[in-house]
């Protein structure tokens, strides 16, 4: 077990209404523009208990959902040997209002429990940065 936590943390300020940023986090037409969804995922909003399943590879389950405040998706990857109870790896998005509009914070991890945790961590650093930029652009430019 590694001592160092492998948790990605990043944030971005967005000049847009809170409700607009929340919509971009949970509406599939927007999610597809800043993250991957399986090709067979229908037009389902991300609500508590919703499962996004990449058959035979991985799945995300919405485990926390507080409108305009918090969205958490817990990750399960089939090739990881531990049972899902052995780790708690999630994508957590927190929204709060700041002087410019909205502060969006993302936390991904903790990958320290995985044998190849560092590579997941490195990829997630890149994902967080890219996703936050895309969400910001969607919210501010109404693309």
Structural tokens at position 73 = 């998706």
pTM, 2 dp? 0.92
Position 129 scores a pLDDT of 98
Give the 3-state DSSP-derived string for the chain, with helices as H, strands as E and coil as C: CCCCCCCEEEEEEECCCHHHHHHHHHCHHHHHHHCCCCCCCCCCCCCCCCEEEECCCEEEEEEEEECCCEEEEEEEECCCCCCHHHCCCEEEEEEEEECCEEEEEEEEECHHHCCCHHHHHHHHHHHHHHHHHHHHHHHHHCC
Position 3 scores a pLDDT of 52
Give the C-alpha separation, 62 to 56, whole Å: 19
Using DSSP bridges, classify how beta strands 101-109 and 90-98 pair: parallel, antiparallel or unpaired.
Answer: antiparallel
Residue 2 predicted with pLDDT over 60:
no
Give the C-alpha separation, 108 to 76, whole Å: 13
Q: Does the CA dihedral 55-33-43-93 come out positive or negative?
A: positive
59's CB contacts (< 8 A; 6+ apart) are 51, 52, 53, 75, 76
Per-residue pLDDT tens digits for 29-59: 999 999 999 999 999 999 999 999 999 899 9
Q: Name all domains of the chain by residue range, CATH numbers in brackets.
A: 8-141 (3.30.530.20)
Residue labelled with tokens 């560092």: 118
Residue 137 predicted with pLDDT over 90:
yes
Per-residue pLDDT tens digits for 76-124: 888 887 665 667 799 999 999 988 899 999 999 999 988 889 999 999 9
């Amino acid at each position: 077990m590694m001592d160092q936590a492998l948790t990605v943390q990043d944030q971005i300020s967005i000049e847009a209404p809170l409700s607009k940023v929340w919509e971009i986090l949970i509406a599939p037409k927007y999610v597809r523009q800043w993250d991957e969804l399986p090709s067979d995922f229908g037009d389902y909003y991300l609500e508590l208990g919703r499962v996004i399943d990449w058959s035979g590879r991985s799945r995300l389950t919405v485990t926390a959902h507080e409108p305009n405040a918090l969205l958490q998706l817990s990750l399960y990857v089939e090739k990881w040997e531990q049972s899902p109870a052995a780790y708690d790896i999630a994508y957590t998005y927190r929204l709060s209002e700041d002087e410019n509009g909205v502060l969006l914070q993302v936390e991904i991890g903790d990958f320290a429990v995985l044998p190849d945790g560092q590579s997941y961590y490195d990829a997630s650093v890149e994902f967080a940065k890219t996703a936050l930029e895309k969400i910001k652009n969607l919210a501010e430019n109404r693309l």
